Amino acid sequence: MNSPSAETGQTPAMQGKTVVISGATSGIGEVAALALARQGARIVLIARDRERAERTRQRLQGAAPGTTHPVHYADLAQLTEMKRVAAEIAAAEPHIDVLINNAGALFGRRELTADGLERTFATNHLAYFVVTRLLLERLRATPAARIVSTASDAHRGARLDFADLQSERRYRGLAVYGRSKLMNILFTRELARRLAGSGVTANCLHPGFVATRFGEAGSGALMRWGLRFAKRFALDPQQGAATLIFLATSPSVREVTGEYFHRCRPVDPTPAARSDADARQLWEISAQLAGLTD
């Protein structure tokens, strides 16, 4: 186990806490996981790529010697995998202090998963919904637990068409990605409402435009070129991870819930992202699709 700091004599801020995080084998997720491990947290990874996950796990071991950081493997685009990995974690972890939903992707062309769901919707929204929903019992059992979800200012300009959540009528990768980020904010809004009085908080964030691997795997050649050019002017992952780490650790947001943060401050998302009616409807449709109705 990590010992108190030799310099300050104080126990690290996250000592003894369990953090479950997806999307942590690169980019801001990995930076956040390493920072939290250095603060004493035990990191539980949800990952798809075994080689990258093992590299991250080794880095975590180096950052926090003596602490075991388990990895659970799943393709979070697949509904059965979302449910399986959440059930495995719930069975293995008696309490969860922080759940960080950070996995996400951008796809240049429309693809369907084995469940018949549009891949961006499944990966960027439904996985957040399913994993969180199935870990709520463990979060509720933990004093002052937190749920942190990575959204984006890409939601600005996006609107939800509940008759076409799967983007069958028209598909443009960046626009569909923006709608998925709008869903992340609406999901957080409804989740916070449902958790009111439980002691569990739910917030989301815009990390900024960050130079990471994001968008390189699922996008077309032109989009990849555009993203690589834009990343020359982007934040580095350490800067992008700052708000994620802040929401997971800061005492100042211990009782703050249902908010959208940027640069460690709450900011207003668009009016579309503040619609309680849309937040409730999205929750209900997601629950039906996932077979997790209350």
Q: Residues 36-80: pLDDT tens digits? A: 999 999 999 999 999 999 999 999 999 999 999 999 999 999 999
Cβ contact 150:128 at 8 Å? no
Listed range (23-37, 59-73, 182-196, 236-250) with the worst mean pLDDT = 236-250
Tokens describing residue 30: 């990995």
How many whole angstroms separate alpha carbon 59 and alpha carbon 153? 30
Question: Which one of the listed residues 73, 171, 177, 260 is annotated catalytic?
Answer: 177
Mean pLDDT for the chain? 90
Tell whether the torsion through CA atoms of 29, 33, 34 and 35 is positive or negative: positive
166 has a pLDDT exceeding 70: yes
Say what the pLDDT of residue 11 is: 59
At residue 10, the pLDDT reads 54
pTM score above 0.95: no
Compare 258 and 227 and report the one with higher pLDDT: 258
pLDDT digits (tens, 9 = 90+) for 137-152: 999 999 999 999 999 9
pLDDT band at 122 (very low <50, low <70, confident <90, very high): very high
Q: Burial level of 194, CB count in 10 A (0-12/13-18/19+)?
A: middle
Which domains does the chain carry?
Answer: 18-287 (3.40.50.720)
Chain segment 2-20, per-residue pLDDT in tens? 444 444 445 578 999 999 9
Structure tokens at 173: 């990768």
- CA nearest neighbour of 209 among 191, 229, 192: 229
pLDDT computed for residue 236 by the predictor: 65
Model confidence at 287: pLDDT above 70: yes
| Catalytic annotation present for 177 | yes
Q: What pLDDT score does 239 carry?
A: 85
